A and B are shown apart, each in its own frame.
Chain A
Amino acid sequence: MTNCPRDDVRDRLPDLLNERLDAAARAEVARHVASCPECAAELELLRSMRSALAPAPNVDVARIAAAVAASRGARASSPDVRPLVPRRPASGARRIAWRIAAAFVVAALGVGSWAIMHRQSGPDVVIGDHFPAPGSKPVAAAPDFAANQATPAHPSPSAKPSASPQMVASTGHRGLVMDGGVNDLSDGDVRMLLQSLDSLTAIPDADPAPVTYPIDDGGGVR
């Protein structure tokens, strides 16, 4: 331990040792050391410590310099291309799924528009599945249902339903038949549908809320 009160000088002893003081500071510190045995002893200790710690492992300077030059050459020859940000594997599949979902929505809207237009200008559209509700007046809305027009309102027990019941997504006794294919659309409707699909660019952030329609026992929608 040292009792020297000149902390500022002791603080600069390593600088004196390593010749990092300007002339004025060096003179001041050296003058103090000459008159202070404790600081002189500490300076000597620092000198011994530096000597003890000074030996460094040999390093091959030429080899390191060559490595630096080689790395520079490698950088110069490599194109300046930013690394691509890795894409999440699920992203593409999710995008496709959303597009398919959007296509179905647009198709439903297109069919709905078509059905509404035809309802206003023509006979009522068939509502429900192949077995209309009692009292309903089935009118075919699409060529697929032409055969169903002959179906009685109340089918006989022997009458067999379609092998794959068609889904109803209509309201009341009038509404939309969702089982119509794109082939059922007119040229104008198809064109409109395609334009709508082309304009789809945004990807929704969340799943669309499910839409449910209450369906009464008769197959119609309340």
Chain B
Amino acid sequence: MTEPSRTAEEPDDDALIARWRSGDERAATLLVERHATPLARFVAGLGERAEVEEVVQDTFVRAFGSLDGFRGESSLRTWLFTIARNLVRDRARSRKGRRDVVSLEEWHAVTEHDALDTAVADETEGRMRRAVQQLTPMQREVFTLRVTEGMSYKEIAAVVASTEGAARVHYHNAMRAIKEFLG
């Protein structure tokens, strides 16, 4: 398995982290540019639609704030997704504590009436999205990370705090459920 494609001129994450540690602020900008959009997509997929940018920003601030303790045992990308996932969960719990709209069990349930859905003009894409929405939360996370972000089972297991085997099972169960939904 290979890392996501990147041009030869682009420094990898480790090199950018080293540059940032040595005081190069531009390295942080490059890392943000590289990972912000996938993170935003992931966060939105978890149901955090209204404050996606805030969550993404908080993710980067926290990650860079503790970058000195980052030993590179997992990739920066995996680490960022893990932080983002925890932030979304914390927000869901907080909202639940305030008796807000979203319950913990539905912390990344996406309503059919949300703004992004209405923006999806194509009916086929709408059905695809609904097929994902009817998955269990864990299936949805695993499927999104596997298909949309191209993560390996090992990376997914790190993000969702599970095992590679469990991640594989969740992916195949999700795939079967989607096929059944789409008929």
User: Chain A: residues with CB nearer than 8 A to chain B?
Assistant: 1, 11, 14-15, 17-22, 25, 42, 45-46, 48-65, 67-69, 71-72, 75
| Cross-chain contact A52 with B120 (CB below 8 angstroms) | yes
In the bound complex, CA of A60 to CA of B28 (Å): 14
6 tightest CB-CB pairs across the interface, nearest first?
A: A18-B150, A56-B41, A52-B128, A52-B125, A65-B29, A56-B40
| Nearest CB of chain A from residue B48's CB, rounded to whole Å | 10
Contacts of B124 in A (CB 8 A): 48, 52
| Cross-chain contact A67 with B41 (CB below 8 angstroms) | no
| Nearest CB of chain A from residue B29's CB, rounded to whole Å | 4
In the bound complex, CA of A61 to CA of B57 (Å): 9
Convert B49-65 into 0s and 1s, putting 1 for each residue whose CB lies closer than 8 angstroms to a CB of A: 10011001100110011
The one of B28, B120, B152, B171 in contact with A68, judged by C-beta atoms closer than 8 angstroms, is B28
In the bound complex, CA of A23 to CA of B182 (Å): 33
In the bound complex, CA of A75 to CA of B116 (Å): 37
User: Chain B: residues with CB nearer than 8 A to chain A?
Assistant: 1-5, 25, 28-29, 32-33, 36-38, 40-41, 44-45, 49, 52-53, 56-57, 60-61, 64-65, 116, 119-120, 124-126, 128-129, 131-132, 144, 146-150, 152, 168, 171-172, 175-176, 178-180, 182
| Cross-chain contact A11 with B36 (CB below 8 angstroms) | no
| Cross-chain contact A14 with B144 (CB below 8 angstroms) | no
| Cross-chain contact B45 with A14 (CB below 8 angstroms) | no
| Cross-chain contact A48 with B128 (CB below 8 angstroms) | yes
In the bound complex, CA of A49 to CA of B56 (Å): 23
| Nearest CB of chain B from residue A8's CB, rounded to whole Å | 11
| Cross-chain contact A57 with B40 (CB below 8 angstroms) | yes
For B125, B126, B176, the residue with the greatest tally of chain A CB atoms inside 10 Å of its CB is B125
Contacts of B180 in A (CB 8 A): 1
| Nearest CB of chain A from residue B15's CB, rounded to whole Å | 17
In the bound complex, CA of A17 to CA of B28 (Å): 29
| Nearest CB of chain B from residue A63's CB, rounded to whole Å | 7
| Cross-chain contact B1 with A49 (CB below 8 angstroms) | no
